[in-house]
Amino acid sequence: MANHTYTPKRVMVIAAHPDDIEFSCAGTIARWVREGAEVCYVLCTSGDVGILDPHITKEEAMRIREAEQLAAAAVVGVTNVVFLREPDGMLEPTIALRKRLVREIRKFRPDTLLCGDPQALWAGSGYINHPDHRAAATAAIDAVFPAAGMPTLFKELEAEGLTAHKTYKVYVMAWDKNDTFVNITDTIDLKIEALKKHVSQMNGWDPAERIREWAANEAKGKEMEYAEGYRVITFDDALPKAEEQPQVAEVAAAMPPHAPQDS
């Protein structure tokens, strides 16, 4: 069981809905931003069916929830937020979604990617993990490995100036079997403040107590008050080496062009 010591430079978070990041990893993100990391959020859906008021259309809900997500991101110092606007409640881990995520990974070129756990289905006896969460997690895992790092897969993205990119670490927001715990004692207040920006989801509820309870639970037995836990996968062959990047680009450019692949 490792305590957090690693500070990434470029972090991408892939989530299904506005508020997923704030419920799960926003304390870690706030900490890493303070430590100098650049962060990009990718939201697969804009939560357009997540406002349970029949008088609010999906288009209005999308506008409200995207604005809430931008406000929540700003609380922890994140301004780079990408909305893919896939349909909320119907997200599927298709090859098309994988390609859209590969595009974002190749564009931002993270050394560290955070996503949900595709295997998380049951949580105690009072909750079933949302199918969109499972779909986003599967699509993210399948995009980051191996697809984004394979030069001839989705090669047509080269037309957008995007070449293969291998990500060094994947932090899976697992519900069990976590092996790495990030100390968020100094940033838990920011996490709570960020979550509260999702006004349409709070219905007057103050999440502070619940968030502190979860984070204290994760921190149990460790030398920290509040933590966020992850299962971390490290790809040693993708250890970032900035000086190798131009070489990789040259090799890719020198290869003969291939016919565009289906997407």
Which residues contact Zn ion (rule: CB under 5 A)? 17, 20
Cis peptide before 93 (omega within 30 of 0): no
Q: Is 201 exposed, middle or buried (0-12, 13-18, 19+ CB in 10 A)?
A: buried
CB of 143 to Zn ion, least distance (A): 19
For 90, the token pair is: 């119907």
Amino acid letter, residue 112: T
Instruction: Return the number of the residue (106 or 133) whose C-beta is nearest Zn ion.
Output: 133
Q: How far is CA 63 from the centre of its chain?
A: 21
Do 160 and 223 touch, CB atoms closer than 8 A?
Answer: no
Minimal CB distance to Zn ion: which residue? Answer: 17
User: What sections of the chain are H helices per DSSP?
Assistant: 20-24, 26-34, 58-75, 95-108, 131-144, 188-196, 199-202, 208-219, 245-254
- Of 78, 23, 30, the residue nearest 47 (C-alpha): 23
CB of 18 to Zn ion, least distance (A): 8
Q: Which is nearer to Zn ion, 122 or 254 (CB)?
A: 122
CB of 85 to Zn ion, least distance (A): 15
Using the minimum distance from each CB to Zn ion, give the nearer residue, 8 or 50: 50
Smallest distance, Å, CB 86 to Zn ion? 13
CB-wise, 20 or 86, nearer to Zn ion? 20
Nearer to Zn ion, 135 or 182 (CB): 135
Alpha-carbon distance of 144 to 42, in angstroms, equals 13
DSSP conformation letters of 204-216: T--THHHHHHHHH
Smallest gap from residue 20 Cβ to Zn ion (A): 4
Residue 16 C-beta: closest distance to Zn ion, Å: 5
Which residue's CB is nearer to Zn ion, number 17 or number 106? 17
For residue 101, report the phi and psi dihedrals to the nearest 5 degrees.
-75, -40
